[in-house]
Structure 1
Amino acid sequence: MDTITIKAKGISVSLDLTVGHLADMAVDIDGRRLQPLHRAPWVDARETLPENLPEGTVRLSGDFLCAPFSRSDIEDAPLHGWPANSAWDVVDSQATSDGWRATFRLQRKVMGATVDKILTLRDDHPFLYQEHVFSGGSGAISVAHHPMTAMKNGGRLAFSRKRFAATLDDPLEPDPARGRFLLAYPARSTDMTHFPDAAGGTIDLTDYRMDQLREDFITLVEADHGGPGWTALARRAEEDLVLVLKNPAELPVTMLWLSNGGRDYAPWNGRHRGVLGIEDGRASVGHAASVGDNWLKREGVATAFALDEGSKVSFRHVIGAVPQSGGEPPRDIATAQGRMRILAADGTERDIAFDSDFLRIGRSVPA
């Protein structure tokens, strides 16, 4: 069994057990089926891929746990670590009084820690509630979720309040023979609608345009606003709103991966189009950088969890989708008393079922 599917009323999620990636997510709501997550075009194509690709790239899908995020340069592991590249076992999967709950365990250990993935679905909630638990281990580990969505005709973004956005010293694809990028590197801005671009002008980070071929990566640092961190993407052609939420105390940064035909080499071959990674994490780029000195730490941002034998570290994350026409993201999102209230761009409000206790805003988090 390579894939397991769990279901509750109005929602189903499939997990690829060979690499721990979400292979599919479907939300049935208001007479429609929404599929917010992306699956790379080569995964099911039965084509010959380059040798030595990380297994997580070969089966690139949906969302997965990165531990560490990016380079695994302390322990020997592929890009994004063993949780994104190796097998998971089913520990438990069963119906609950209001949905379904399943627990999976990584067959390998990370820095000596046992890693569990807990997926929860609730009847008539258009959300996947995720928790990852590291038990034991030693040292420190950077982590990130890696949800990816895709658009046929672009979309518009909105975020919970951020301190600033910043790019790294170097772009993902600096060689024009292999790919292209649009943002300036390094650069920084507090205005998400006016970020420096490589041509000397500015670009609107809230507008994902299909005519801008690019491979870009940018980090958004959460502001201290006392609520959940969130990203909302209004997909134009799909006529829906993709929602990704976190507890900023656990995952203080949101890293955006904009992959729109910006890589010309295999397996990408210019066909990875309209993809946006919304990567909430506690990380810098690379394990060694995350546990050592880095630019985020100098900004007061935590970039790793400390592991200790006999103790546990956990963090939570939410992915969802609801129907929406008009292509404009919300002005604001608030969660309380078992509901999510979405304040639309036109000033109207919409309430949907949401486990407002799940992210535990305000709880203390280990360093």
Structure 2
Amino acid sequence: MSSADHFVRTTRGPWRLCWAHGSAEIQALGGMLGPLQFRLDDERELDVMHVAPWSGLTRASALPGVLRRLRGEWPCIPFGRADQPPALPPGWQVQPADDGWHHGYAANHRWQCLHADAGRVQLALDFPPDAPVARVEREISADPHAAAIDIGLTVWARRPARLPLGLHPTFRLPPATRRVRVMLGRHDGIHSYPALASDSVTRLQPDTCSADLSALAGIDGPLDLAQLPAHGVFEELLQARAVQSAKEGAPPFALHYLDYDACVGLWWDTAQLPDLMLWVSNGGRQRFPWQGRHLALGAEPVNSLFDLGRVAKAPPGHPLADRTGIALDPATPWHTRYRIAAWQQAAHPDADHHAL
């Protein structure tokens, strides 16, 4: 292949990270990261990031950008749905979204590569001229000393605005039930979605608050989502308020893959993005492309009211009514950093090494 051919291929993506402790792929569409493999030892790798089973199918080419090659991790700017939600409880107000891009313009368009080598990929995307956001950049770097990647996100505003904003790591779940343990740090309660979904099966009572993932307020009694995939078929959205690390240096969120006896942790700035939205996809959507076979767990650090921040407002007394988004200022770019890392369960992550 000529050097010119190589330039075309690398500028269009995908771009690959490859280092002693793992490998990863980043695509242009949505700037999405995935697949991602971490090397646990000389003989074992753990596949961490979800890749949708319809990726590459002919029918998938007609899907919206965010779904067409759905995978792994990406930023949502702005965060959330753009369509009108189903019937909300009394006191909630609905409003039209400022555009039609589900999970934001950035999740539905092709990013430009600014730099790519085996250890670091830097991408950028310019927004339409009428958008409050002017430009976003993200950098994904492999930690040369660990099974870990570090990600930076910068947002330049065109004008002052407050937008719901979130990150969207989506983790792989195996087909066997209850083989992944969900480890959530300290929090101020886990809130269920305020309305029943119109396109999927749900087993949670809407607009409730529970103290623990192992005993959520279910329609048919307590529902345990602390180990996944769960028994049954359903799709759930939850928001854990004010998530913090359980102890110094520990991740606010982690998964224990029992069949590998290995963990994957997610660290982020909980002052900027105080809550964690959990998307539990447990085969609960039947229409294409889901077809009842989609298993994944989205663990999404957010400053948002569920995925409703663009289209609805909670009543003043609701515990999440103050989650109104990030204040953006054209004079100062907004920046955040986060980290995804794996370790064998027998060896706990070192606090200093893994801190942001």
Q: Is residue 79 of structure 2 the alignment partner of residue 69 of structure 1?
A: yes
Separation in 1 of the partners of 2:36 and 2:350? 22
Q: CA separation of 1:296/1:312 partners in 2, compared to 1, >3 Å: closer, same or farther?
A: farther
Residue 79 in structure 1 maps to residue 102 in structure 2:
yes
Q: Which runs of 5+ in 2 are unaligned?
A: 1-11, 83-95
**What's 1:212 paired with?**
232
2:267 aligns with one of 245, 253, 258: 245
CA, structure 1 residues 168+179, in 2 after alignment: closer, same or farther (shift >3 Å)? closer
- How high is the sequence identity, in percent, across the aligned residues? 22
Question: Aligned partners of 2:203 and 2:240: how far apart in 1?
Answer: 17
Q: Match of 2:29? A: 18
Partner in structure 2 of residue 279 of structure 1:
300
Aligned twin of 1:59: 69
Q: CA deviation at 1:335?
A: 5.5
- For 1:81-100, list aligned pairs within 5 A: 81-94=104-117, 100=119
* CA-based RMSD: 2.7
Q: Establish whether residue 161 from structure 1 lines up as the match of residue 186 from structure 2.
A: yes
Verify the 8 A CA contact 2:80 2:310 in the aligned structure 1: no
In the alignment, the residues of structure 2 paired with residue 144 and residue 166 of structure 1 have an alpha-carbon distance, to the nearest angstrom, of 17
Task: Calculate the TM-score normalised by the size of structure 2.
Answer: 0.82
Determine helix, strand or coil for the equivalent of 1:316. Answer: strand
1:108 to 109, 127, 145: 127
Aligned residues of 2:80 and 2:164 also touching (Cα < 8 A): no
Residues 1-367 of structure 1: matches in 2 within 5 Å?
Answer: 1-31=12-42, 32-44=44-56, 46-49=57-60, 51=62, 53-72=63-82, 73-94=96-117, 100-108=119-127, 111-138=132-159, 139-149=161-171, 150-153=173-176, 154=178, 155-172=180-197, 174=198, 178-199=199-220, 201-223=221-243, 230-273=252-295, 275-284=296-305, 285-289=307-311, 299=320, 301-324=322-345, 336-338=351-353, 354=354, 356=355, 358=356
CA distance in structure 2 between the partners assigned to 1:295 and 1:129 by the alignment: 37
Q: Are the equivalent residues in 2 in contact too, given 1:87–1:107 (CA < 8 A)?
A: no
Residues in 2 aligned to 1:160 and 1:137: alpha-carbon distance in whole angstroms: 36
Q: Structure 1 pair 126/50, CA: closer, same or farther in 2 (3 Å)?
A: closer
Asked if the contact 1:151–1:237 (Cα under 8 Å) also holds between the matched residues in 2, the reply is no
Q: Classify 1:125/1:315 alpha carbon distance in 2 versus 1 (closer, same or farther; 3 Å).
A: same
- Greater shift, 9-18 or 71-80, is seen at 71-80
Task: Check the 8 A contact 1:50/1:267 in 2, yes or no.
Answer: no
8 A Cα contact 1:164 1:191, kept in partner? yes
The structure-2 alpha-carbon separation of the partners of 1:236 and 1:224, relative to structure 1 and needing over 3 Å to count, comes to closer
